[in-house]
Structure 1
Amino acid sequence: MADQASVLDRSSVGNAPDPDFDWRRIAYLVQVSRALDNLEETRLVPERKISYQFSARGHDMAQVMLGSRLTNPRDATCGYYRSRPLLLSLGVPIEDALGSAMGRAGGYSDGRDIGVVFNFPNPGGVPALPMSGGVGAQYTPTAGWAQAIEYYRTVLNSEAHRDAIAVVLGGDGSVAANGFWAALTIATTQKLPMLFYIEDNEYGISVPSTYQTPGGNIARNLESFGNLHVLSGDGTEPAEAARLVKAAAAHVRSRKGPCLLRLTVPRLQGHSFQDTQTYKSQEFVASEWTRDPLPKLRSYLVGSALDEAEWEAIEREAGEAVEHALAEAQARPVARPETVLSNVFFEGEVQQIGGQWTHGYQAPVAHEEPRPEGQRINMVTAIRRTLDRELEINPRVLLFGEDIGPKGGVHAVTLGLQEKYGIERVFDTSLNEEGIIGRAVGLALAGLMPVPEIQFRKYAEPATEQINDCGTMRWRTANRFAAPMVLRIPGGFFKVGDPWHSQTNEVQFVHNPGWLVAVPSNAEDAVGLLRSALRGNDPVIFFEHRAMLDDAWARRPYPGDDYVLPFGRAEKVREGDDITIVTWGAMVPRCEEAASHVSADVIDLRTLMPWDREMVLESVRRTRRCLIVHEDLKSGGFGAEIAAVVADEAFLDLDAPVARVTMPDIPSPHHPTLLNWAVPSVEKIRARIDDLVGF
């Protein structure tokens, strides 16, 4: 029981310090952390050299102990905004910690992200995975790293991963977040080597922990949770904290499954520097200061591991180190403003951590011209055959999602792949989209090529935070980390519609920086774009339109096992001189049919990020008319972006207004009669073509 563990561990307070810990280093790093907090609060924030400051006072001692237990370079940890002591224990330079807080070049992000949102590649050591500014977003990527450890052990037979673990830090407020429960489900159902380290300071900003967890004790509530070892105790008592941290790490390293360690700690300052804590009584604040772990650590060590002079020397050494780091940090420049445009996507310099390219992956020789083989096949078969081929030649590829295993997916795309490649490489997940994408982020960071599936476009909504965080990762870490993956999403209408299974809204993904977006209209393009994505070094949204998966028009011969189609290269499915029609996905065959009576360029964009501006502008300047057709809603749809570019760059070449045919601004109706009225039809497209040609 968690409370019993606490009682047993408190009885050891008078024992000699555990020789498995480097107590001098622990004392030094806690003092460094305190000196940093003091420097920021008394000088740098008042001087407006730091905008965001989150004190770690009270959390620091146990965090440093935890960091000392991360000893395998294949370990990884992911924390949150109060986790700087852990970063110090991993070896992050003090000047990087300060320089990042000040937004200077170098450090964690070259000034692109706030300094408390850490990342630390730590070559040769244990990395700190990129943290997020969102509460609870750190849990599922850490679960993905833990699953990658198991994959390296059991499938790739890596001895280096034999006792590796993944550690995630969170506060008591974060245990109410969806990401916490998603990660807990993943870790316990698969018995992953994952340590949940929960710092309970009794408040989530101003909200008591009893608002987050019934009774305010997540450890007690999870004591009966299956496949989870639970420990709980006082993170301010040196002997107790050391024993619990050591026991938790040892449990996970022994491959007995995940562990949750809850340590109670005081938050000795406000949530942030600006927080005056008026929501706490004076008596409560005073009681927190009586639990300060720093004086307890001094009492515990002086007279046993250290003498008084050594403690004072450590304190001076820490203070001098922080002052020296301040001088170095202040000497760093602010990054040149134009550099913020770099590293949204892979630009040729491989990131330090994340993706198969960092592990020596080299794609097979490819060809960009199709080499047709055999009879025409539908898009389902084309996608399945491409996934099959890449699974066969690349052991780092993993497929997962809801119902993609024995069932083969609700659209039959993955049918038979689990039987062929095993449950370790093609597997079903729990019904939690944040868990699906967050897990994929961790797998990608560990060097694998995850291919998660979101069953329908609308179901991606719970995963939007992870999607956004993944896309921005390369940019916000200044190319230190990236998480390349291929996120497959079926969507759009199919015979009927409805608000839940028939949404498109591709523009939302285009608006998430860092994601490539593919929208193939036929089997050949699907093969080429999917293979490019699977062999690439960026995260990709691969949109599979439901109406085209078995559509006769979309069938093409298989273009070859090494056919790749570069992103940003559109295709003219018809060529002509009177009008340019720009479209993608299920609207391509409709536009081709609608334009059969005129001389028209019908351009299938094939990808929306990037999109082929050059082909569109060249065509519009020649035909002098432009019609954009898409299934998505008109207001804010991607067609508006194309229209704006055409108006900006080809206005003087136009003989008619730029026009659009789209869905009205409504959800997808269910009944076929209603759906067919709302979705752009051949008749509606043809009528608009005639209007523009006759303008």
Structure 2
Amino acid sequence: MARARHEASSQVTSSRDQSPRIRPDWRRVAWLLHVSRHMDMVEETRLVPEKQVLYQFSARGHDLAQILLGQNLTHRHDAVCGYYRSRPILLSIGVPLEEAMAGPLARAGGYSDGRDIGVVFNFPNANGPSALPMCGGVGAQYTPAVGWAQAIEYRRTVLDETDYEGAISLALGGDASVATNGFWAALTIATTQQLPMLFYVEDNGFGISVRSSFQTPGGNIAANLASFQGLTIFEGDGTDPAEAARLTQEATEFVRKQRAPALLRLTVPRLSGHSAQDTQGYKSEAEISEENARDPLPRLKNYLVPDVFTDEVWASIGTDAQRDVDAALEAALARPLPDPKNLTRHVFSEDGPHGIKAVQKKGGLAAEGHTLPRGSAQPEPSGPRINMAAAIRRTLEQELGVNPKMLVFGEDVGPKGGVHSVTTGLQAKFGEARVFDTSLSEEGIIGRAVGMALAGLMPVPEIQFRKYADPACEQLNDCGTLRWRTHNRFAAPMVVRMPGGFFKCGDPWHSQTNEVQFVHAIGWRVAVPSNAEDAVGLLRASLRGNDPVIFFEHRAMLDHGWARRPWPGDDYVLPFGKAKTVREGGDITVVTWGAMVERCEQAAERTAQETGRSVEVIDLRTLSPWDSEAVIASVRRTHRCLVVHEDNGTAGFGAEILAVIGKECFLDLDAPLERLTMPDIPSPHNPVLLNAAVPSAECIAAKIDELLRF
């Protein structure tokens, strides 16, 4: 596609009527600008000093351009993902004034019921453009926004939903955000896939105190992207009403009509500190004076008065805005404080994977009433034993057939079929729109999955190896907390497939487990199947559920003979939090998961043969939630417990299990609680070193014998 660069200096003259086709609602623009200013003023001069608002980020200087841009978001499937200085555009798309004041006050209701800082908005608008949940991290808004853009195209072209025709996705960011991984990941996705996304960079020249020349060479991201293929650039002055109105309309119209990405860079002054606590001591008096001279509020007045409004009308608009904000503030202050009794609600969907109670307003299948078959918790084994890789592949294939909103993607999952061959043949059967490769960016993979999930799809991203999830941790963490911090207004259910653990050898990069990191992450369900049957049931439960899931596929078990099982049936769904007693016994309880289940079974058999003592082996199968009831009941019978896992010992998940057992079973114990894990080292590469590091059946049996003799 031909690339164009639109420069304000070459296309705009001094005439304020240069673009007659542009018809902003100037009265509403003026009212919103006054509203935004008065909100900032009240917060800065009253609510912050009174410590009623604890985080305040003024939008003064950024406000006019955002309001004009928001007026161009007219499609009910448009979405905007902003950041902490984006309140003006939220007001422009219809956020009620009382809500806009109640959020920063952390009062009941509002964006988060007092759970999140009030400057990160969300707005699940059923009848117009929505504001996707914002994050406190700089640059975290871009990849979810590009995921929404990809969902627009998927729903328009694959699902034939004609009401998505012309919808766009918009991401707002400051000039500092263009240095982040999220910006570049989203830019790569949007341009290579030609998605309807507008990047709006409001350039005020500073990232807190750091000048924009430290963020991008020359301090102008638009100039640096002039030759970026597949990207159209619009650039100009965000404080000039005519220029800003024209450019915001041209940019949004281009993305709508061409269904292609664009970047809009407007220069604006930041007429305040970065936040209420920032004194701007890093700016010279001349710089501050120059910024104040570019204030868009008086420039808007000069543009509209007397040609559009009289002085009296302009004054009345300001008076009305002040009155409306003051009334909204009083209503917000009258709201009660959030109820601490509700503090732990909405970490997960409260009604399990198939219920309909307390469903989020936006995101996932449930919000749109899309239901899937419940399935059966009872397996019906049939056919020959198959390996775990084949079981996962067959489940993905079946669920892709059942759910047209499901997509599978990641690095090399397409024609190659994945580096572990788990997705072999899926792209050939379901097409590139549903099973596709991605750029090498885990931030981009997970971030776009968040946007897709928010748009009502079921994304199934793959992280090629557990260690490679590290660059995506911001998006993973933000996704997990999304339901809680929006007070169940939004949720982003997805299934992240993640192979890991040792195989024929180990190494620090491909053999990490560290599953405890995801158990500790708020809002994620974590599955760690040890065999093909459990993999089928847990994967199907995940794909039909309403929460984000980490589905851990152990590399050593994907083609392991012990892990092979008959196909458990096309309807088999294994609920999370239900452990399996794989070997019954009465003398000691061994708790484990993943690849260690086989080794614990071998150790239990050795103990039985050598000592005649019986060992109960429990496979947890899921770690979030984990079946504490089954473990506690077993330990109360056996009076001894050993936890075995492949992850490092210090702060591993075994410590959590033993802490619970120590509390609940203290008086029942006849021996110390013990765990057997890898030492606190990365996974070693040489097989001799690996075998010395990972708990073996012999080591497990020896530890069992030690506890039995205590």
Same fold (TM over 0.5): yes
CA drift of 1:6 comes to: 3.4
Determine the C-alpha separation between the residues in 2 that align with 1:679 and 1:618.
28
Determine the C-alpha separation between the residues in 1 that align with 2:367 and 2:431.
25
CA drift of 1:16 comes to: 7.7
Between 365-374 and 574-583, the greater mean CA deviation after superposition: 365-374
Determine the C-alpha separation between the residues in 1 that align with 2:388 and 2:113.
43
The answer for the alignment partner of 1:323 in structure 2 is 326
The answer as to whether partners of 1:382 and 1:524 remain within 8 angstroms in 2 is yes
Structural mapping, 1:286-435, within 5 Å? 286-348=289-351, 349-435=358-444
Please point out which of 541, 546, 550 is paired with 2:559.
550
CA drift of 1:4 comes to: 3.5
1:624 aligns with 2:639: yes
| Residue deviations 1:468-489 (CA, integer Å, cap 9, x gap) | 0000000000000000000000
The answer for the alignment partner of 2:276 in structure 1 is 273
1:691 aligns with 2:691: no
The answer for the alignment partner of 2:627 in structure 1 is 612
Determine the C-alpha separation between the residues in 2 that align with 1:80 and 1:12.
33
CA drift of 1:385 comes to: 0.2
Please point out which of 254, 258, 261 is paired with 1:258.
261
| Residue deviations 1:10-40 (CA, integer Å, cap 9, x gap) | 5444648765211100000000000000000
Q: Which amino acid aligns with 1:633?
A: N
Determine the C-alpha separation between the residues in 1 that align with 2:535 and 2:690.
26
| Residue deviations 1:283-318 (CA, integer Å, cap 9, x gap) | 000000000000010111112221111111110000
The answer as to whether partners of 1:16 and 1:304 remain within 8 angstroms in 2 is no
| Residue deviations 1:633-664 (CA, integer Å, cap 9, x gap) | 00010000001000111111100010000000
Structural mapping, 1:429-578, within 5 Å? 429-578=438-587
Please point out which of 122, 132, 141 is paired with 1:138.
141
CA drift of 1:9 comes to: 2.6
1:638 aligns with 2:653: yes
Cα distance change on mapping 1:411 and 1:504 into 2, 3 Å: same
Structure 1, gaps ≥5 residues long: none
Q: Matched residue pairs, number?
A: 695
Secondary structure of 2:331's aligned partner: helix
CA drift of 1:255 comes to: 2.5
CA drift of 1:601 comes to: 1.1
Secondary structure of 2:665's aligned partner: helix
Q: Which amino acid aligns with 2:666?
A: F
Cα distance change on mapping 1:652 and 1:509 into 2, 3 Å: same
The answer as to whether partners of 1:143 and 1:194 remain within 8 angstroms in 2 is yes
Please point out which of 200, 203, 210 is paired with 2:213.
210
Q: Which amino acid aligns with 1:694?
A: R
Structural mapping, 1:665-684, within 5 Å? 665-684=680-699
The answer as to whether partners of 1:17 and 1:239 remain within 8 angstroms in 2 is no
Determine the C-alpha separation between the residues in 1 that align with 2:162 and 2:275.
43
Cα distance change on mapping 1:375 and 1:299 into 2, 3 Å: same
The answer as to whether partners of 1:10 and 1:240 remain within 8 angstroms in 2 is no
Q: Which amino acid aligns with 1:255?
A: Q
Determine the C-alpha separation between the residues in 2 that align with 1:256 and 1:571.
51
The answer as to whether partners of 2:6 and 2:233 remain within 8 angstroms in 1 is no
CA drift of 1:3 comes to: 7.2
Structural mapping, 1:109-258, within 5 Å? 109-258=112-261
| Residue deviations 1:424-469 (CA, integer Å, cap 9, x gap) | 0000000000000000000000000000000000000000000000
CA drift of 1:420 comes to: 0.3
Please point out which of 665, 670, 675 is paired with 1:660.
675
CA drift of 1:361 comes to: 1.3
CA drift of 1:270 comes to: 0.3
Determine the C-alpha separation between the residues in 2 that align with 1:121 and 1:167.
15
Q: Which amino acid aligns with 2:508?
A: P
CA drift of 1:343 comes to: 0.2
The answer for the alignment partner of 2:79 in structure 1 is 76
| Residue deviations 1:155-198 (CA, integer Å, cap 9, x gap) | 00111111000000000000000000000000000000000000
The answer as to whether partners of 2:8 and 2:243 remain within 8 angstroms in 1 is no
Structure 2 length normalisation: TM-score?
0.97
Determine the C-alpha separation between the residues in 2 that align with 1:7 and 1:178.
32
Structure 2, gaps ≥5 residues long: 352-357
The answer as to whether partners of 1:141 and 1:441 remain within 8 angstroms in 2 is yes
Determine the C-alpha separation between the residues in 2 that align with 1:381 and 1:91.
49
Structural mapping, 1:559-598, within 5 Å? 559-596=568-605, 597=608, 598=613
Determine the C-alpha separation between the residues in 2 that align with 1:420 and 1:693.
54
| Residue deviations 1:298-354 (CA, integer Å, cap 9, x gap) | 111112221111111110000000100111011111111121100000013110000
Q: Which amino acid aligns with 1:175?
A: V
Cα distance change on mapping 1:119 and 1:4 into 2, 3 Å: closer
Determine the C-alpha separation between the residues in 2 that align with 1:119 and 1:154.
27
Q: Which amino acid aligns with 1:20?
A: R
The answer as to whether partners of 1:10 and 1:239 remain within 8 angstroms in 2 is no
Secondary structure of 1:595's aligned partner: helix
Structure 1 length normalisation: TM-score?
0.99
Determine the C-alpha separation between the residues in 2 that align with 1:448 and 1:16.
39
The runs of 4+ residues in structure 1 deviating greater than 6 Å are none
The answer as to whether partners of 1:12 and 1:240 remain within 8 angstroms in 2 is no
The answer for the alignment partner of 2:354 in structure 1 is none
The answer as to whether partners of 1:9 and 1:244 remain within 8 angstroms in 2 is no
Cα distance change on mapping 1:662 and 1:12 into 2, 3 Å: farther
The answer as to whether partners of 2:5 and 2:232 remain within 8 angstroms in 1 is no
The answer as to whether partners of 1:571 and 1:606 remain within 8 angstroms in 2 is yes
The answer as to whether partners of 2:588 and 2:640 remain within 8 angstroms in 1 is yes
**Percent identity at matched positions?**
66
Determine the C-alpha separation between the residues in 2 that align with 1:246 and 1:257.
15
The answer for the alignment partner of 1:94 in structure 2 is 97
CA drift of 1:600 comes to: 1.4
